Amino acid sequence: MANLGPGRPRLEQRRRQGTTPRAEILDAAAELFTTKGYANTSTRAVADAVGIRQASLYHHFGAKDDILDALLAETVAGPVELAQRMIGEPEAAATKLYALALFDVRQLRSARWNLGALYLLPELRTERFAAFRRRRDELRGHYERLTAESCSAAGQSDEVRILPFRLVETVIAIRSDEGTAAAETERVIPDAIMRIVGHRGEVGAAADALLARLGEIDIDPA
Amino acid sequence: MANLGPGRPRLEQRRRQGTTPRAEILDAAAELFTTKGYANTSTRAVADAVGIRQASLYHHFGAKDDILDALLAETVAGPVELAQRMIGEPEAAATKLYALALFDVRQLRSARWNLGALYLLPELRTERFAAFRRRRDELRGHYERLTAESCSAAGQSDEVRILPFRLVETVIAIRSDEGTAAAETERVIPDAIMRIVGHRGEVGAAADALLARLGEIDIDPA
């Protein structure tokens, strides 16, 4: 219980998913932000949902926007790490693009809460979230580079450069509208991206092998 | 000034875009909802932005969610009307799909405020917005039907059925991240949809002709 906070006893038994108080706070906040709305959720409501005192919450996060920032970071940490690991690997750009899209769709559709729904919050355009925006722009840059290289290899213009990143993130809208994104989305979206970049031939197996070789990527920094 | 409301004089000169008080209220609310957030905006703030009294605002809209509902309706009214007019027209499904995507991308990227950013609000999942959700589902159904028919005509499976509607709506995320969506998006997205459904050959000119023949579609119900 060393991480529990300033020594006060809990009000109740733990009721959240997560192995640390910090993880429990993030899980509760993620649920409330995505189901009630960010502006509609107070740090008091988050503390209540965890079953801790508000003072204990402030031991872990200085303010509500610090919680949001930590949650948003989780949504891009995994794919950014993967994209960096793929640089210098021998596979063709299209294989890397397929692998990145597959990994990213998978984590967006299987994350416990649909945190990407928070990307459109006006609050994210403030200076407070500049570091997160840069991180997401870094991910977008990896997608655009791999897309441009894939288009070039297929002998076509790269006017579609911005689309694969956007198509992957449609998982967020699908989850928001339908509750879940079907498992087949994990293949349907990367396959559609291959068509968009003009790539012919199977890449799924090579992308799976690349992902297996690069190892597990921990996308939970909590 | 017959539409102005319950007869009180305005506090100030009109300061909003729009030819009626109702349109001015919608324009002010659209700006505040998309830049400050829906939960962060009061009807008082909307009235202040228009330069009218709050009581005058309530003459036009009973509550804040009525304003949101009217704004959301604008985002789908045009493409739904177009999709309905296209039924029974002789063009191939792929041509209709291209025309619908072109029209929809155009209206999403050129609308004064990026109202689609409000689609992910948790409030939209409540009963209050069931009618709007049905209307958007109707539009989604048109996209899925035209996509399935286009795939069938190209001799491929329709596993990509859900993607064209989603790809069109990425204009919303692009605007949210970058401020604007580039003009070429109006062609890049429909062209990418043609690749996704496996359609070969030029359809842009036939889609333009179809849009011209079906006439102007008024997407501003205010």
Give Cβ neighbours of residue B157 (< 8 Å, ≥ 6 apart).
Answer: B151
Quote the mean pLDDT of chain A.
92
ipTM > 0.85, yes or no:
yes
pLDDT score of A13 more than 80 = no
Closest residue on chain A to B169 (Cα):
A170
- Here the tokens at position B176 are 């949210």
A173, B169: Cβ pair inside 8 Å?
A: yes
- Are residue B116 and residue B197 in the same domain, yes or no? yes
Confidence of residue A2 (pLDDT cuts 50, 70, 90): very low
Burial of A216 (0-12, 13-18, 19+ CB in 10 A): exposed
Confidence of residue B16 (pLDDT cuts 50, 70, 90): confident
Report the candidate in A148, A160, A155, A153 with the shortest Cα–Cα distance to residue A192: A160
pLDDT score of B6 more than 60 = no
Confidence of residue A7 (pLDDT cuts 50, 70, 90): very low
B37, A40: Cβ pair inside 8 Å?
A: no
Could you tell me if residue B222 is inside a domain?
Answer: no
Residue A1: per-residue pLDDT: 37
Residue B218: per-residue pLDDT: 66
Q: Tell me what the mean pLDDT of segment A195-216 comes to.
A: 94
| Stretch among A106-110, A182-186, B39-43, B211-215 having the lowest mean pLDDT | B211-215
- Are residue B163 and residue B87 in the same domain, yes or no? yes
Q: Tell me what the mean pLDDT of segment A196-204 comes to.
A: 95
Report the candidate in A139, A167, A102 with the shortest Cα–Cα distance to residue B195: A167
- Are residue A82 and residue A42 in the same domain, yes or no? no
pLDDT score of A201 more than 50 = yes
Q: What is the DSSP letter of B152?
A: H
A221, A74 contact by CB (below 8 A): yes
Number of neighbours of residue B209 by Cβ within 10 angstroms: 13
Number of neighbours of residue B69 by Cβ within 10 angstroms: 16
Q: What are phi and psi of B216, to 5 degrees?
A: -65, 140
Confidence of residue B222 (pLDDT cuts 50, 70, 90): very low
| Stretch among B113-122, B166-175, B208-217 having the lowest mean pLDDT | B208-217
Residue B18: per-residue pLDDT: 74
- Are residue A85 and residue A8 in the same domain, yes or no? no
Interior/surface letters A75-96, b for 16+ CB within 10 angstroms, e for the rest: bbbbbbbbbeebeeeebbbbbb
Q: Please tell me the distance from the alpha carbon of residue A145 to that of residue B40, in angstroms, as a whole number.
A: 38
Confidence of residue A95 (pLDDT cuts 50, 70, 90): very high
| Strand, coil or helix: B124 | helix
Domain count, chain B: 2
Residue B19: per-residue pLDDT: 81
pLDDT digits (tens, 9 = 90+) for A42-85: 999 999 999 999 999 999 999 999 999 999 999 999 999 999 99
Closest residue on chain A to B167 (Cα):
A167
Expressed in angstroms, the distance from the first to the final Cα of chain A is 16
pLDDT score of B30 more than 50 = yes
Q: Which residues of B touch A (CB under 8 A)?
A: 34-40, 117, 119-123, 159-160, 162-163, 166-167, 169-170, 172-174, 176, 184, 188-189, 191-192, 195-196, 198
pLDDT digits (tens, 9 = 90+) for B61-70: 999 999 999 9
Residues in B closer than 8 angstroms to A141, CB to CB, are none
For residue A164, give the amino acid letter. P
As a whole number of Å, the CA-based R_g of chain A is 19
Residues in A closer than 8 angstroms to B195, CB to CB, are 195-196, 198
- Here the tokens at position A134 are 């840069």
Residue B40's domain comprises 21-62
Could you tell me if residue B2 is inside a domain?
Answer: no
Q: Which residue has the tokens 């909003």?
A: B16
Closest residue on chain B to A178 (Cα):
B125
Residues in A closer than 8 angstroms to B189, CB to CB, are 163
Share of chain A above pLDDT 90, in %: 88
Residues in B closer than 8 angstroms to A169, CB to CB, are 170, 173
Give Cβ neighbours of residue B200 (< 8 Å, ≥ 6 apart).
Answer: B154
Q: How far is B201 from chain A (nearest CA, A)?
A: 14
Could you tell me if residue A206 is inside a domain?
Answer: yes
Q: Which residue has the tokens 């529990």?
A: A4
A184, B159: Cβ pair inside 8 Å?
A: yes
Question: How many interchain CB pairs under 8 A, A with B?
Answer: 86
Report the candidate in B24, B23, B20, B22 with the shortest Cα–Cα distance to residue B49: B24
Q: Please tell me the distance from the alpha carbon of residue A2 to that of residue B83, in angstroms, as a whole number.
A: 61
**What is the domain-level CATH number for residue A78?**
1.10.357
A119, B176: Cβ pair inside 8 Å?
A: yes
Q: How far is A124 from chain B (nearest CA, A)?
A: 9
pLDDT score of A5 more than 50 = no
Quote the mean pLDDT of chain B.
92
- Are residue A210 and residue A104 in the same domain, yes or no? yes
- Are residue A143 and residue A84 in the same domain, yes or no? yes
Residue A172: per-residue pLDDT: 98
Could you tell me if residue B86 is inside a domain?
Answer: yes
- Are residue B129 and residue B114 in the same domain, yes or no? yes
- Are residue A21 and residue A131 in the same domain, yes or no? no
Could you tell me if residue A100 is inside a domain?
Answer: yes
Q: How far is B173 from chain A (nearest CA, A)?
A: 7
Confidence of residue A24 (pLDDT cuts 50, 70, 90): very high
Report the candidate in A154, A163, A146 with the shortest Cα–Cα distance to residue A198: A154
pLDDT score of A15 more than 70 = no
| Stretch among A4-18, A46-60, A149-163, B202-216 having the lowest mean pLDDT | A4-18
Last residue of a domain, one of A35, A62, A89: A62
Q: How far is B13 from chain A (nearest CA, A)?
A: 29
Report the candidate in A205, A214, A192, A203 with the shortest Cα–Cα distance to residue A79: A214
Q: What is the DSSP letter of B220?
A: -
Higher pLDDT, B186 or B10: B186
Residues in A closer than 8 angstroms to B167, CB to CB, are 163, 166-167, 170
B164, B193 contact by CB (below 8 A): yes
Residue B13: per-residue pLDDT: 57
| E strand or H helix that includes residue B22 | helix B21-35
Residue ranges with strand state E in chain B = none
Furthest-apart CA pair in chain B: how many Å?
Answer: 65
- In the Cβ-directed half-sphere of B82, how many Cα atoms lie within 13 Å? 30
Quote helix, strand, coil % in chain A, to nearest 5: 65, 0, 35
Residues in B closer than 8 angstroms to A189, CB to CB, are 163
Residue A10: per-residue pLDDT: 53
Report the candidate in B139, B136, B154, B140 with the shortest Cα–Cα distance to residue B93: B154
B174, A160: Cβ pair inside 8 Å?
A: no
pLDDT score of B10 more than 80 = no
Could you tell me if residue A105 is inside a domain?
Answer: yes
A167, B172: Cβ pair inside 8 Å?
A: no
Q: Please tell me the distance from the alpha carbon of residue B188 to that of residue B195, in angstroms, as a whole number.
A: 11
